[in-house]
Structure 1
Amino acid sequence: MAKDAKPTINDVARLAGVSKKTVSRVINKSPLLNDATRSKVEAVIAEIGYVPNPQARALALRRNFLIGLIHDNPNAQMVLGVQEGILETIRDTEFALVVRPVDRHSPQLLDDIRHFIEQQRLFGVMLLPPISENDELADMCRKLGCTVVRMGSAALDKSEHLVASNDRQAVADAVFWLSELGHRRIGFIAGPQGFRSARERELGFADGMARAGLTIDPALMERGTYRFESGLAAGDRLLAVDPPPTAIFSSNDEMAAGFLHRALDKGLKVPGQISIIGFDNTATAAHIWPPLTTVQWPIKAMARAAAHKLIDPLEAASQPSIFLSDLIRRSSADAPSA
């Protein structure tokens, strides 16, 4: 290396006795390196004063070091959780996050996203449900040379392009747990049509009821929008049924909170007269009273894995793609009163 020359990634690799690819992984905070290798490379970087040049690398790749988060999702807390997970992963790297809300019903959806990717020269994109279920959109991203990872409630793609939860099994287990507590009249608040998560959770409810040997009562089935207000409306209808349900499974926490509000407003004891379970384990679930029993959707863990797959595509297959949800038991669900 010449005396006045700026150190390069090749210099780092040579002095550390590793490949340029390994140096790149250290720079991008890849979790796929052992501590000894990471420390050795970081020591060389510090010793020779190597500073990555994002502009030069972006020019060479014809891409900026930007990760796009594209969504059309009414669950604001879910979107926030994904952002936090991605930001945790890309902190101290040269990558940055750009968030783009879209209208999945727009006839210009593909054109708008194409323009966004080309204008920003995105390195990669993460697609949130329900637009992550759009195969044409995912294919378009790939054709534009943009790495894509899809979040879903079921397997949508190859593992290197996927982070998914086991919604159907998680809901089935939660509903069966309600039956073990002694509940026989269990109602359900479904999510909106067009969401794979809503469908998977509805199938899980049916599975859990079948496993418990219980028959689904159509009068105890309502559909919401994943919003608080639809939980209120579902409460008005479900709590007017005679005889009423003794337990409700809601497809997300926002609707469960709305239902809980309506039940308390009607003077019902929760969980004495009505038990309630939600899905997501958002901050809302822990902060309302009584605290909400809910299925924990591992949003941040999924987002962190997705970010790793985006910033280090060569090692994407080594990251997990299926994440298991757990039932968080709080005060809103218990055995029915005698």
Structure 2
Amino acid sequence: MPRPRGTHDARAELRGRAATINDIARLAGVSKKTVSRVINQSPLVRADTREKVETLMREVGYVPDPMARGLAFRRSFLIGMIYDNPTAQYIVDIQYGALDALRDSGFELIVHPCDSRSPGYIDGVRRFVQLQKLHGVMLVPRVSEDQALADMLDELGCRYARIAAVALDSPERMVVTHDRDGGAEVADYLQTLGHRELAMITGPATYRSAMERSEGFIGALRRRGIEIPPERLAEGGYTFESGVAAAERLLALPAPPTAIFCGNDEMAAGVYRVAVRAGVRIPQQLSVVGYDDSPLATRLWPPLTTVRRDTRDTGRMAAALLLQNSTASGVRLSVRPHLVVRDSCGPPA
């Protein structure tokens, strides 16, 4: 075996290209099989050899190829994340959470955006899963609510973890976000401020999260003897533009609402835009509440009262489910929402 090279020589030889497992073996003076054993934490490697190989990998910035590892072990080291969601910040936070769980696990995250309205989207997901030979899949709302998609993954024998507003599957496959409770807490808060002329901008009717938030809000108000007339319910698309369109209609009513609950913070920002244009002051003349507690909530003025759900923690839990050796823990994971009160609400004028 050749003698291992010094760090300086190794870096010089690899300058301008990424190191391979063959490079590590040659530079460390060991076999490729030994390097593979070090990467996969095999106990069959002597401590001094392990330390030498790991030191060299760190010094030259070598990163194991998860696809190659999958071929060697006849299983994938890739976790897929499938989503069709218009809220970019939500998706980013889910990814950060998943990466938290996967750090130092040897697994990598690969994302697959799709259009769940397309008739062939399930076949597209099937091809993605089979091509990448995924170890497991995270399903993010709204695709997590599609039972046909879950059934297809089950048929393939692919693990999956669903994030949804309610329990749609067995505990070992679910992270539940309890969106109905968040909507109910908003209703209770606005009612205690004295609001009775309320409106809501919901998310898309096809989203279970939108249904749960609106039913939680409307149901809690009804229990307090307050009804929202149909003209004060507007369907949005979880986007800024849909919030603008809905707010223009609501604030143009002969008797406009004194408070508006929005299904997410993006739509609440749209309400702010319309209110400023109309000369309606927040919170003196109009109270506004959002949902998500995204970074946008503290960038608006006045800062937005909103429902916080720890999206990053949700992503971490979903990815962690896929790494468990056992698939029958019996414990259903939950992320509970709670209201964060800021300056966008006050008593009705």
TM-score normalised by L of structure 2: 0.81
Looking at structure 1, the residues matched to 308 and 149 of structure 2 have their Cα atoms a distance apart, in angstroms, of 28
Distance 1:316 1:250, change over 3 A: farther
Does residue 89 of the first structure (1) align with residue 108 of the second (2)?
Answer: no
Amino acid at match of 1:125: V
Distance 1:54 1:219, change over 3 A: closer
Match runs of 1:272-283 below 5 Å = 272-283=284-295
Does residue 162 of the first structure (1) align with residue 174 of the second (2)?
Answer: yes
Match runs of 1:128-147 below 5 Å = 128-147=140-159
**What's 1:98 paired with?**
110
Count of residues paired in the alignment: 308
Q: Deviations over 1:114-151 (max 9, x none)?
A: 11011111111111111111112112112223210011
1:316 Cα deviation from its structure 2 partner: 7.0
Does residue 263 of the first structure (1) align with residue 275 of the second (2)?
Answer: yes
Looking at structure 2, the residues matched to 193 and 173 of structure 1 have their Cα atoms a distance apart, in angstroms, of 21
Looking at structure 1, the residues matched to 243 and 42 of structure 2 have their Cα atoms a distance apart, in angstroms, of 60
**Unaligned 5+ residue runs, structure 2?**
1-29, 58-63
Does residue 202 of the first structure (1) align with residue 233 of the second (2)?
Answer: no
Task: Pick from 53, 56, 75 the counterpart of residue 63 of structure 1.
Answer: 75
**What's 1:325 paired with?**
337
User: SS of the residue aligned with 1:188?
Assistant: strand
Q: Which moved more, 1:84-93 or 1:308-317?
A: 308-317
1:13 Cα deviation from its structure 2 partner: 9.2
**What's 2:249 paired with?**
237
1:318 Cα deviation from its structure 2 partner: 7.2
Task: Pick from 33, 36, 43 the counterpart of residue 12 of structure 1.
Answer: 43
**What's 1:303 paired with?**
315
User: SS of the residue aligned with 2:92?
Assistant: helix
Looking at structure 1, the residues matched to 307 and 49 of structure 2 have their Cα atoms a distance apart, in angstroms, of 44
Q: Structure 1 segments of 4 or more deviating over 6 A? A: 43-53
**What's 1:77 paired with?**
89
User: SS of the residue aligned with 2:242?
Assistant: helix
Match runs of 1:112-191 below 5 Å = 112-191=124-203
Looking at structure 2, the residues matched to 112 and 220 of structure 1 have their Cα atoms a distance apart, in angstroms, of 39
User: SS of the residue aligned with 2:75?
Assistant: coil
Whether the 8 Å CA contact 1:63–1:121 is kept in 2: the answer is yes
Q: Which moved more, 1:215-224 or 1:175-184?
A: 215-224
Greater Rg by CA = 2
Identity %: 42
Amino acid at match of 1:12: P
Amino acid at match of 1:262: V
Looking at structure 1, the residues matched to 44 and 197 of structure 2 have their Cα atoms a distance apart, in angstroms, of 65
Distance 1:137 1:47, change over 3 A: same
1:159 Cα deviation from its structure 2 partner: 1.3
